[in-house]
Structure 1
Amino acid sequence: MKTDSLVEIKNLVKHFDISGGLLDQLKMENGKLARKRTVVKALNDVTFEVRKGETLSVVGESGCGKSTLARTVMGLYPPNSGEVHYRGNRIDNLSATAMLPYRTKMQMVFQDPYASLNPRMTVRQIVEEPIYFHNKGISRGEAKGRMEEVMQSVGLDPSCASNYPHEFSGGQRQRISIARALAVKPEFIVADEPIAALDVSIQAQILNLLMDAQESHDLTYLFISHDLSVVEHISTRVAVMYLGCLCELAPAKELFSSPKHPYTQALLSAIPSLGGKKKEHIHLSGDVPTPIRLPSGCVFHGRCQYADDRCRNEVPVAMSTGEDSLVACHAHEEGRI
């Protein structure tokens, strides 16, 4: 692991068994009753690192595994295989007790600010709960002072601390979620589409808040989003996922100016542009395959204009195309693009 790596993900695999009970699994096959399991292959051999102080954004279509990746990195989902390392220490196999010291270092901001806040708790209780939990013996005055400090830092009046989440707007509720994450002084935050549920007029305020917090608290972000214009604006590097697989990873400026993977090219061509030269929109053929039955070889080959027999039969391996860039594409490797 490089010296500036904060989080490292190695060959991460996460599958979900949605077979149901025994009766749900029984199917007729060739006139005989057989037991069939249904497995959603959400993450498939994902490997990358998040470096100290950067914002690494993960993009892709809905259902590509972005949120599953976020929750698996945070330990909310146990991986089927692979490893998650934090500052060189493996954490995916730790017990809940052994994981506690890392909980203060790693926090998460969820997409829906209302669903992620307990409606029966006041803002004071929501923000102070992690402070008390991770700081045994802290006085009530110290906890209150910390709560007021983080509320002010996210633009909320501490005098509203006795209110409940339903008394706030969506943007204010997301500020509460960010305050809760900052309350334990983390150094790594996973933001899972933190502005997707907000009005456009509020999104810029929350983005600016996250960027200001990153600078003032020396934070590192894993930022999950489907909004490519936002990703281009805030990211240090960008990872592109398709059907649970990592297609491309590159510095934001490089990826948006010169995408290498055919899926990345198609994804970026769909960004609306005002003025200047209009991009040619790349229309992908076919439908997105189901993660229950992944295609053989490259998962993108059924929609790729460059696909050949190798693409249909051999899974591509992410190969370096520069100091900070990776591409998993046979066509790019062979110079067919």
Structure 2
Amino acid sequence: MTDTLSSPRPEASNSPADSGQPLLEIRGLEKRFSLSGDFLEQLKFKGGKLVREQEHVHAINGVDLEIQRGEALCVVGESGCGKSTVARTVMGLLHPSAGEIRYAGERIDDLTTQALMPYRRRMQMIFQNPYASLNPRMTIQQTLEEPIRLHHPDWSRQRVRDQVDEVMESVGIAADWGKRYGHEFSGGQRQRIAIARALAVDPEFIVADEPISALDVSIQAQVLNLLMDARRDRNLTYLFITHDLAVVEHFGTRVAVMYLGRVCEVAPTATLFATPRHPYTQALMSAIPRLEDERPQHIRLEGEVPTPVHLPSGCVFHARCPHANARCREEVPRLIARDDGSQVACHGVEEGRID
């Protein structure tokens, strides 16, 4: 099999690429999940009075991000920081509790299902688990034809088949795979099929939610190279969710670091790995195994990660940060742009207390 893509993707129409406008803009994005059940379950007697109590998991808390056309923005952070929730909210699988999502300048988070249909073709998603993302009742041919028929109901049967053949060839899928079912393939083969399904409708933006974490290490590089080739040959833009910093260094053009539902730092990949600014980012970078004499000293964080049910005041990282002061405990830091192209949400960096 080959990991190269043979057919370039046609340029999208009504594209504002020349204007410098971001392809995707996220502003003040929040997502809360209720833990209190329905209305009747929220009613409780306290002090002789009937009161309504509501409790939420605050998965995303005011995320601001921009993704330019043609780039691969990697979102990293520990488990439970809200990475996958951002991905699913961007794709409309979850409805945001607050904030806005704009695609090519148009707001999409408040659109109806019917109004979202044109964006469904332009925005596709690759899921983490290739064993769960394919319908076991459908052959591979049916799996790949379904999105094409949905978005192009006027296409002839032969044109649909030609499109399926092209996309199968582009991801290294053999022609005889089409008659078989998903359970007959390995994890790496299934993920190739999932990538082919995402590419079948010629999208311009792909959200990849940890697409290689469920695969054997021996085939992770193959799938990652396939995604990189697709970006180059089809002019794709990626929002890539991962926890693997080695993947980030190899794949991403920019990196956004998240902690407890907030973005701590955004920077070009080379800048982030060379000079991380936020104390949490510095701790992450120090944990990367390196065969170097001059490797940075490992930073061991003290304390526990706060619960997303009861968020701490001020900076969400202050309880584990060795540089925290009174302002950090009271005031939420904003992302502030720096001369090197990075953005950092840290009072210590803003005040010059942290190099």
Normalised by the length of structure 2, the TM-score is: 0.92
User: Which residue number corresponds to residue 231 of structure 1?
Assistant: 248
Q: In structure 2, what residue type is equivalent to 1:178?
A: I
Q: In structure 2, what residue type is equivalent to 1:93?
A: D
User: Which residue number corresponds to residue 5 of structure 1?
Assistant: 22
User: Which residue number corresponds to residue 64 of structure 2?
Assistant: 47
User: Which residue number corresponds to residue 212 of structure 2?
Assistant: 195
Q: In structure 1, what residue type is equivalent to 2:221?
A: A
Q: Deviations over 1:112-170 (max 9, x none)?
A: 01111111111111111000000012111111111111111111102110111100000
Q: Which of the residues 313, 332, 341 maps onto 1:324? A: 341
CA distance in 2, matches of 1:49, 1:324: 13
User: Which residue number corresponds to residue 132 of structure 2?
Assistant: 115
Post-superposition offset of 1:267: 0.9
Q: Which of the residues 59, 77, 87 maps onto 2:94? A: 77
Q: In structure 1, what residue type is equivalent to 2:250?
A: H
CA distance in 1, matches of 2:134, 2:339: 42
Q: Which of the residues 43, 51, 56 maps onto 2:73? A: 56
Q: Secondary structure at the match of 2:338?
A: strand
User: Which residue number corresponds to residue 9 of structure 2?
Assistant: none
Post-superposition offset of 1:32: 6.9
User: Which residue number corresponds to residue 175 of structure 1?
Assistant: 192
User: Which residue number corresponds to residue 305 of structure 2?
Assistant: 288
| Identity fraction in percent | 61
Q: Deviations over 1:200-221 (max 9, x none)?
A: 0010000000001111111000
Can you give the 5+ residue segments of structure 2 that lack an aligned partner in the other structure?
1-15
Post-superposition offset of 1:58: 0.2
Q: Which of the residues 322, 326, 333 maps onto 1:305? A: 322
Post-superposition offset of 1:325: 1.3
Q: Which of the residues 92, 95, 106 maps onto 2:112? A: 95
CA distance in 2, matches of 1:268, 1:165: 38
Post-superposition offset of 1:269: 0.8
CA distance in 1, matches of 2:42, 2:109: 30
Q: Which of the residues 277, 281, 288 maps onto 1:260? A: 277
User: Which residue number corresponds to residue 162 of structure 2?
Assistant: 145
1:274 partnered with 2:291: yes
CA distance in 2, matches of 1:104, 1:73: 14
Q: Deviations over 1:177-205 (max 9, x none)?
A: 10000000000000000000000001000
CA distance in 1, matches of 2:21, 2:107: 16
1:65 partnered with 2:82: yes
CA distance in 2, matches of 1:240, 1:144: 41
Post-superposition offset of 1:23: 6.4
CA distance in 2, matches of 1:302, 1:285: 8
Normalised by the length of structure 1, the TM-score is: 0.96
User: Which residue number corresponds to residue 350 of structure 2?
Assistant: 333
Q: Secondary structure at the match of 1:75?
A: coil
Can you give the 5+ residue segments of structure 1 that lack an aligned partner in the other structure?
none
Q: Deviations over 1:272-299 (max 9, x none)?
A: 1124423311011100011100000000
**Structure 1 residues 43 and 272: CA distance shift in structure 2, 3 A:** same
User: Which residue number corresponds to residue 153 of structure 2?
Assistant: 136
Q: Secondary structure at the match of 2:23?
A: strand
**Structure 1 residues 29 and 302: CA distance shift in structure 2, 3 A:** farther
Given that 2:100 and 2:107 are in contact with CA atoms closer than 8 Å, whether structure 1 keeps it comes out as: yes
Given that 2:78 and 2:243 are in contact with CA atoms closer than 8 Å, whether structure 1 keeps it comes out as: yes
User: Which residue number corresponds to residue 209 of structure 1?
Assistant: 226
CA distance in 1, matches of 2:223, 2:232: 14
Q: Secondary structure at the match of 1:61?
A: coil
1:244 partnered with 2:261: yes
Post-superposition offset of 1:318: 0.8
Post-superposition offset of 1:35: 3.7
Q: Secondary structure at the match of 1:272?
A: coil
- Any runs of at least 4 consecutive aligned residues in structure 1 with deviations exceeding 3 A, and if so which? 21-35
CA RMSD of aligned residues (A): 1.6
Larger mean Cα displacement after TM superposition, 282-291 or 26-35: 26-35
Larger mean Cα displacement after TM superposition, 28-37 or 290-299: 28-37
**Structure 1 residues 4 and 324: CA distance shift in structure 2, 3 A:** farther
CA distance in 2, matches of 1:296, 1:56: 29
CA distance in 1, matches of 2:122, 2:61: 26
User: Which residue number corresponds to residue 125 of structure 1?
Assistant: 142
Q: Secondary structure at the match of 1:145?
A: helix
Q: In structure 2, what residue type is equivalent to 1:215?
A: R
**Structure 1 residues 148 and 247: CA distance shift in structure 2, 3 A:** same
1:160 partnered with 2:185: no
Q: Secondary structure at the match of 2:163?
A: helix
- The number of residue pairs the alignment matches comes to 337
Q: In structure 2, what residue type is equivalent to 1:69?
A: V
Q: In structure 1, what residue type is equivalent to 2:138?
A: M
